[in-house]
């Protein structure tokens, strides 16, 4: 259930990193949402320049991205990595375009809005040319927690993530396939993208661990939640893990509420009224959110709702699955474009 309205006037849009996993999803989302486009520029590295990608039954030639690529552009959707975003930000802003960035380059920078449109759309008005897309695990986490939190304030959240290969791009997805084939054929496999063999395995998220023992993905969930909610009242502790799933992240979430937890009927009502959420919670059939069913879906799937009886009417457990390439990346960015 989506409530973000597309603009009525056509916009000139540029996609930086157009040939990557998220770049391709940018095009798919723009098409599915019927986003009015005056001109679409597909930008990538020199290596990909000259290739063609299909958009609305038209083949568009991919151009090499330069500092001059953004003349006449209204909105620039970036998924080309932090260093590229930092290198080209000023060129985008100087051209009069708004940069919506999917990397971590600007998320925690003071003065740059960090937006989940269903949660803090008002922040999109206060930009200086750049808006940041939150981390995928943070978006999916908040989509599941915020509908409850705004009615029944949450004091503490404990979240464990089950993150798919899609979070690390096409190379990781291909490595998962190849690693799985090798394991099935009893052949040796040397990982290139991931630190360990991926097939039939799971491991702590492959991001840097600091002196606190938390990895970067876990720190992002903690800090980004504070920025999006403009509050430190909801404390978060996270454990982020890579699992051998191609696409769509899952998260197990335990919530402790300040006063009382909503009962299950109240929780379902809150989710039913919140855009971008679909409840999948059939105890009789043991049917709950799964990455296979979340893949390709705009909505995040929430279920496995149950009272945490150790918290004396103040606790709730839930499970969420969301497509990392869509709501965790491309869809959220295009929804931000719609807000503009």
From the candidates 136, 240, 250, 338, which is the catalytic residue?
136
Going 91 to 332 to 209 to 213, the CA torsion angle's sign is positive
The pLDDT of residue 3: 65
Average pLDDT value over all residues in the chain: 96
Nearest to 101 by CA among 121, 81, 74: 81
Pairing of strands 235-242, 203-204: antiparallel
DSSP 135: P
pLDDT given for residue 148 in this prediction? 98
Check: CB of residue 324 under 8 Å from CB of residue 103. no
**Alpha helices (runs of H) in the chain, residue ranges in sequence order:** 21-32, 82-94, 136-149, 170-184, 216-229, 264-272, 291-294, 331-339
Q: Which CATH architecture has domain 138-324?
A: 2-Layer Sandwich (3.30)
Q: Token pair of 171, please?
A: 């190379």
Q: Any idea which residue has 């259930």 for tokens?
A: 1
Catalytic residue among 127, 149, 205, 249: 249
The verdict on whether 338 is a catalytic residue reads no
Residue-level pLDDT at 128: 95
Write out the residue limits of the CATH 3.30.360.10 domain(s) in the chain: 138-324
Q: Is 136 in the active site?
A: yes
Question: Quick one: pLDDT at residue 275?
Answer: 97
pLDDT at 2 over 90: no
pLDDT value of residue 5: 83
Q: Give me the pLDDT at residue 7, please.
A: 85
Helix (H) or strand (E) holding 43: strand 37-44
Retrieve residue 23's tokens. 């770049």
pTM exceeding the 0.85 threshold for the entire prediction: yes
Residues of the chain with CATH 3.40.50.720: 11-105
Could you name the CATH architecture of 11-105?
Answer: 3-Layer(aba) Sandwich (3.40)
Share of the chain above pLDDT 70, in %: 99
């Amino acid at each position: 259930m989506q409530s973000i309205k597309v603009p009525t006037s056509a916009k000139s849009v540029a996609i930086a990193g157009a040939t990557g996993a998220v770049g391709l999803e940018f095009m798919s989302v723009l098409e599915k949402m019927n986003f009015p486009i005056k001109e679409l520029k597909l930008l990538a590295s020199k290596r990909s320049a000259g290739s063609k990608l299909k958009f609305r039954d038209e083949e568009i030639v991919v151009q090499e991205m330069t500092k001059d690529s953004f003349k006449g552009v209204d909105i620039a959707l970036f998924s080309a990595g932090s260093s590229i975003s930092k290198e080209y930000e000023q060129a985008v802003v100087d051209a009069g375009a708004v940069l919506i960035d999917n990397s971590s380059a600007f998320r925690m920078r003071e003065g740059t809005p960090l937006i989940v449109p269903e949660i803090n759309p008002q922040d999109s008005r206060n930009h200086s040319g750049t808006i940041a897309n939150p981390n995928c695990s943070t978006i999916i986490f908040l989509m599941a927690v915020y509908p409850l939190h705004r009615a029944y304030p949450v004091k503490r959240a404990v979240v464990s993530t089950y993150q798919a290969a899609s979070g690390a791009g096409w190379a990781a997805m291909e490595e998962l396939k190849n690693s799985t084939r090798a394991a099935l054929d009893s052949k040796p496999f040397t990982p290139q993208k991931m630190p360990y063999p991926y097939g039939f395995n799971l491991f702590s998220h492959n991001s840097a661990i600091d002196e606190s023992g938390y990895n970067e993905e876990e720190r992002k969930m903690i800090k980004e939640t504070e920025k999006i909610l403009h509050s430190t009242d909801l404390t978060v502790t996270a454990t982020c893990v890579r699992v051998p799933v191609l696409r769509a992240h899952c998260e197990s979430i335990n919530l402790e509420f300040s006063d009382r937890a909503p009962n299950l009927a109240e929780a379902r009502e809150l989710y039913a009224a919140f855009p971008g959420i679909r409840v999948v919670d059939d105890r009789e059939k043991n049917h709950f959110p799964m990455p296979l069913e979340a893949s390709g879906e705009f909505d995040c799937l929430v279920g496995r709702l149950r009272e945490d009886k150790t918290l004396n009417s103040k606790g709730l457990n839930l499970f969420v699955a969301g497509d990392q390439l869509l709501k965790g990346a491309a869809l959220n960015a295009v929804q931000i474009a719609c807000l503009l």
